[in-house]
Amino acid sequence: MAKEHILVVEDEEDIQELIRYNLQREGYQVTCASSGEAGLEAARSGRPDVIILDIMLPGMNGLDVCRDLKSGPNALPTPVIILSARGEETDVVTGLELGADDYVTKPFSPKILIARVRAALRRTTHVELNPQDPLSIHELKINPGKHEAFLGEEPLVLTATEFRILHFLSKHPGWVFTRKQIVDTVHGDDYPVTERSIDVQIAGLRRKLGEMADYIETVRGIGYRMKE
């Protein structure tokens, strides 16, 4: 059974209990908080493995909690899944750009929420890997130390920026990144990278991946992710 600790910051009692019940049934340890301030304190003192965070909270709202957790010298690496009735593209982008790792809209399926929690925990494992360690996903094999990438047994001839994007997305399968997040991570020395040019780089990568181009998925209005 799972032993990871999940913090649920949600002020609606029925929803809080629904999430708690389903997570505990899967074996997770669960702590609940009903306000932004209480959630922030629980996150910093309890060091949970994943935080499920509502936006509309009494007192400090969820976006401010996320901003506080993910910025400054005391930023936490803990994955944050925002849970909100606000599902417009601008709301989702705002949450992700503040440092949230995922965004689930209400009403939601408990099974889907648990799947997102599991995915967040898997991604945390990927993040902790040495950035130079070789990795494999689908038919892709990437060795950042040697700057080599293979599709099956065939080498991929990539520009420096294409290689960085492919490596970055492959380290976090299923994780959606905005164009700005990709730019900030893969900004290269070969030429300036802009948010607009990311689309061009992705198009180039897909051409070189051929029949496997759909490994890199477009998330409309947000950015890109590597297929899980």
Q: pLDDT (tens digit, 9 = 90+) per residue, 45-60?
A: 888 999 999 999 998 9
Region 210-216: what's the mean pLDDT? 91
Contact between residue 197 and residue 179 where contact means Cβ atoms under 8 Å apart? no
Region 128-133: what's the mean pLDDT? 56
φ, ψ of residue 23 to 5 degrees: the values are -70, -45
The answer to whether the pTM exceeds 0.75 is no
Contact between residue 32 and residue 56 where contact means Cβ atoms under 8 Å apart? no
Contact between residue 3 and residue 121 where contact means Cβ atoms under 8 Å apart? no
pLDDT band at 188 (very low <50, low <70, confident <90, very high): low
The better pLDDT of the pair 16, 72 is held by: 16
pLDDT band at 130 (very low <50, low <70, confident <90, very high): low
Residue 105 pairs in a beta bridge with 84
The C-alpha atoms of residue 62 and residue 222 are separated, in whole angstroms, by 20
H-type alpha helices, the chain: 13-25, 36-46, 62-70, 89-97, 110-127, 160-171, 179-186, 195-209
- H or E segment at 217? strand 216-219
The C-alpha atoms of residue 30 and residue 38 are separated, in whole angstroms, by 15
Span between the terminal Cα atoms of the chain, in Å: 23
Of 28, 25, 88, 74, the C-alpha closest to 52 is: 28
Give yes or no for residue 197 having a pLDDT over 60. yes
H-type alpha helices, 149-211: 160-171, 179-186, 195-209
Tokens linked to 160? 């420096």
The pLDDT of residue 123: 66
pLDDT band at 189 (very low <50, low <70, confident <90, very high): very low
Contact between residue 48 and residue 7 where contact means Cβ atoms under 8 Å apart? yes
Question: In this prediction, what percent of the chain has a pLDDT beyond 70?
Answer: 90
The C-alpha atoms of residue 193 and residue 76 are separated, in whole angstroms, by 28
pLDDT band at 127 (very low <50, low <70, confident <90, very high): very low
For the chain, the average pLDDT equals 85
User: Mind listing the pLDDT tens digit for each residue in 151-180?
Assistant: 999 999 888 788 889 998 998 888 888 888
Q: Write down all domains in the chain, each with its CATH number in brackets.
A: 5-127 (3.40.50.2300), 135-226 (1.10.10.10)
Give yes or no for residue 192 having a pLDDT over 70. no
The pLDDT of residue 1: 44
Give yes or no for residue 195 having a pLDDT over 80. no
